[in-house]
Amino acid sequence: MRLKHIKGSEEIVENSSIVIKNPEKHIGSWNKIFNNKNKIELEIGMGKGSFLIEKARRNKNVNYIGLEKYPSVLLSAIKTIEEEKLSNIKIICTDATNVDSIFKKEISKLYLNFSDPWPKKRHEKRRLTSSVFLNKYKPIFKGFKVIEQKTDNDDLFDYSLGSFKENGYIVLKKNRNYFDDVRTEYENKFISKGKNINYVKVFKL
């Protein structure tokens, strides 16, 4: 699906204090950005931010970081975070391939919500649950490696379960018809159309 480019979105993202510029400079010291020692949870592919913003509203003692590649998608999230003065959420506008150069032993949980399934075999390495990305996530975690995934794509879900197992992750919870009261914008759309939501929570020492 081609995303609509919004004129001026790059400038808005660049000028927002919510969006952390040059994130690599903060590797190993993200707690200083939030000015506390609360745990940090990361969502890769935050989209318009409805999931992460609701998490931040409900859990003031948790810091949240959303990573999103496309500036145009971030505009509504930036507006909401600024209007509500949510101090426990920040945004990084970059590609997911850079994640291991941004964090080091700092993330308590990783969320992968409705990621691009990259269905063609030649694009397997681009899937956010491929061995390529699971290896990138290794150094970012503080303590246990905990990942939660939601997807409407059954094939991606099956692939992810295999990839998690292959990479030594243990399934804590799995549901192929999952209901969550904290949802992404895609999730609401899929549920309204009667599509099942796949969910899994995995961890690794």
Supply the residues annotated as catalytic.
116
Q: Round to whole Å and give the CA distance between 13 and 92.
A: 9
């995303």: which residue's tokens?
3
What are residue 31's phi and psi, to 5 degrees? -60, -25
Calculate the dihedral angle through the C-alpha atoms of 25, 69, 55, 7, rounding to the nearest 10 degrees.
Answer: 110
The percent of the chain in helix, strand and coil, each rounded to the nearest 5, is 40, 20, 40
Q: Round to whole Å and give the CA distance between 200 and 205.
A: 17
CB contact set of 191 (below 8 Å; sequence gap of 6+) = 183, 197
Structure letter (DSSP) for residue 1: -
DSSP H or E run through 50: helix 50-58
Of residues 178, 190, 184, the one with CA closest to residue 51: 184
Say how many C-beta atoms besides its own lie within 10 A of residue 76's C-beta: 15
